[in-house]
């Protein structure tokens, strides 16, 4: 993936922040909490890892796939429009295909 800059970083409530040492000692409880909302595991006070329930992960994954498809369609539509406008920009397939 490319370098992505987040305009707005996610924020967490105090009950979503758990130090790594506490998470390690109470992993079962952490898993249960993560099914309700994402849990941020901290290391030296900085968010290091996010734990989410599988259902939430599936939703994020489905949305990501949808957004990637929309971006791909937008890019292809843009390129086709450019070629329609100026066909000389086209590169013959045979000139780039490896023999």
Residues 43-97: pLDDT tens digits? 999 999 999 999 999 999 999 999 999 999 999 999 999 999 998 888 888 888 7
Predicted TM-score of the model (pTM): 0.67
Domain boundary assignment for the chain: 13-52, 53-86
The pLDDT of residue 92:
83
Q: How many CA atoms lie within 13 A of 87 on its CB side?
A: 0
Q: Is the pLDDT of residue 3 over 90?
A: no
Class of the domain covering 13-52 = alpha beta
Nearby residues of 44 by Cβ (< 8 Å), 6 or more positions away:
none
pLDDT of residue 6: 65
């Amino acid at each position: 993936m490319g370098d992505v800059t987040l305009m707005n970083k996610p924020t967490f409530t105090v009950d979503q922040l758990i130090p790594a040492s506490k998470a390690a000692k109470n992993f079962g409880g952490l898993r249960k909490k993560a099914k309700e909302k994402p849990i941020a595991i901290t290391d030296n006070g900085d968010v290091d890892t996010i734990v989410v329930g599988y259902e939430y992960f599936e939703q994020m994954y489905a949305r990501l796939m949808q957004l990637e498809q929309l971006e791909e369609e937008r890019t292809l539509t843009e390129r086709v429009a450019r070629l329609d406008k100026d066909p000389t920009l086209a590169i013959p397939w045979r000139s780039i295909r490896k023999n």
